[in-house]
């Protein structure tokens, strides 16, 4: 008889490209459930009990095929590298590697054959007396164009204090390469269709300057006296209103996390109407904030909004190292040496 306080299950989800997609779930003593599907090691569900049933705090789709039908990476595992690489050219060890591109001349989120496009091998694995979800994939250089092959495991752990711990473990098998994964998790904590009434706090004094292709210039800009100032808890709706004169009409931006916040809480999102919140802990120096400005009714079959997408339906909070980091000395170390193993963790702590 099991004495686990975390309950685990796995079930057939659907088929994609002639492969079975499996859904894995963990439920804690508070009836909080985390589910993931094997396509993209995607975070499918982070649901909490409510007076009327359950609420899923992350955006999802009913079918695995929906996930690759648009360029929004909904709550998917991202790698080898989160963010944009200029001209698809990766500087590494004095050489330049030409990567596959998937946004004009840019390589975005690992390129067209990144982690999110792979069907991962998943299983329930017991660790320290509790079940975890573990996804494994060996990403080949021949698949994605990055130097070297890389062996990757993504582990989901759910605690009884309602924290989801996401761990990335990677080993470079034969060459030096890069590893800067993230989760492209879209949160909507409330009972409304948008996040315009949410509040956000980010421990960042600076954000990245971009060129017109949303590529970092290498410069840091102060958040002070700008809509990017989330140092104190701030209305997302008001901040988005102050971004209406930008092409995006919202945020698709990268914050440089303060040094003293790394390995602590880097950001907190809250919905005042329901008193729900999620706090994010990360061991790295960047956070992407994307407020789903360009979500459309087409090709966005969201469960929350009955088969359409709407602008500002969620906010993606992507914890990672600053992007294109091998191009800029002060963006952080994303290099993983041949034979080396690197581990990164992102934690989501939910209160309700």
* Residues assigned a catalytic role: 184, 318
Contact between residue 343 and residue 172 where contact means Cβ atoms under 8 Å apart: no
H helix runs in 119-216, sequence order: 141-144
The SS3 call for residue 348 is strand
* 128 assigned to a ligand binding site: no
Does 183 count as an annotated binding residue?
no
Residues 118 and 203: their CA atoms lie apart, in Å, by: 33
DSSP 8-state secondary structure symbol assigned to residue 120:
-
- Give dist(CA 206, CA 15) in Å, integer: 43
Q: Are the C-beta atoms of residues 217 and 211 closer than 8 Å to each other?
A: yes
Q: Which two tokens stand for residue 166?
A: 């996401």
**Rounded to 5°, angle at Cα 41 from 338 and 84:** 60
On whether 299 is known to bind a ligand per the annotation, the reply is: no
Angle at 44 between CA 43 and CA 50, to 5 degrees: 115
Q: Is 78 exposed, middle or buried (0-12, 13-18, 19+ CB in 10 A)?
A: buried
CA distance 110 to 140: 12
252 marked among binding-site residues: yes
Beta bridge partners of 321: none
The DSSP H or E segment spanning 343 is strand 341-351
Contact 155, 132 (CB under 8 A): yes
Residues marked as binding for beta-D-galactose? Answer: 184-186, 252
Residues marked as binding? Answer: 184-186, 252
């Amino acid at each position: 008889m099991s004495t686990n306080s975390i309950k685990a299950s796995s079930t057939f989800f659907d088929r994609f490209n002639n492969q079975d997609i499996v859904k894995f779930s963990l439920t804690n003593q508070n009836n909080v459930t985390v589910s993931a599907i094997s396509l993209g090691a995607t975070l499918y569900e982070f649901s909490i009990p409510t007076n009327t049933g359950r609420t899923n705090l992350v955006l999802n789709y009913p079918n695995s095929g929906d996930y690759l039908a648009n360029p929004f990476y909904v709550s998917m595992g991202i790698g080898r590298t989160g963010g944009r690489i200029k001209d698809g050219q990766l500087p590494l060890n004095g050489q330049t590697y030409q990567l596959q591109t998937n946004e004009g001349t840019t390589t975005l989120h690992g390129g067209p054959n990144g982690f999110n496009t792979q069907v991962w091998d998943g299983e329930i694995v017991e660790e320290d007396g509790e079940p975890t979800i573990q996804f494994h994939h060996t990403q080949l250089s021949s698949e994605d164009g990055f130097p070297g092959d890389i062996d990757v495991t993504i582990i989901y752990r759910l605690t009884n204090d309602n924290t989801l711990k996401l761990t990335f473990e990677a080993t470079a098998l034969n060459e030096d390469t890069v590893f800067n994964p993230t989760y492209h998790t879209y949160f909507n904590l409330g009972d409304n269709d948008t996040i315009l009434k949410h509040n956000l706090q980010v421990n960042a004094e600076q954000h990245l300057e971009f060129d017109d292709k949303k590529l970092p210039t290498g410069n840091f800009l102060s958040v002070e006296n700008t809509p990017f100032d989330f140092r104190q808890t701030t209305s997302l709706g008001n901040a988005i209103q102050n971004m209406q004169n930008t092409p995006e009409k919202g945020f698709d931006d990268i914050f440089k996390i303060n040094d003293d916040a790394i390995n602590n809480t880097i950001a907190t999102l809250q919905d005042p109407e329901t008193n729900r919140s999620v706090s994010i802990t990360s061991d790295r120096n960047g956070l992407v904030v994307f407020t789903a400005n360009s979500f459309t009714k087409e090709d966005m079959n969201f469960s929350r909004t009955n088969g359409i997408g709407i602008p500002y339906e969620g906010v993606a909070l992507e914890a990672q190292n600053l992007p294109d980091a091998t191009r800029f000395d002060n963006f952080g170390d994303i290099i993983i040496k041949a034979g080396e193993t690197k581990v990164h963790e992102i934690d989501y702590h939910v209160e309700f």
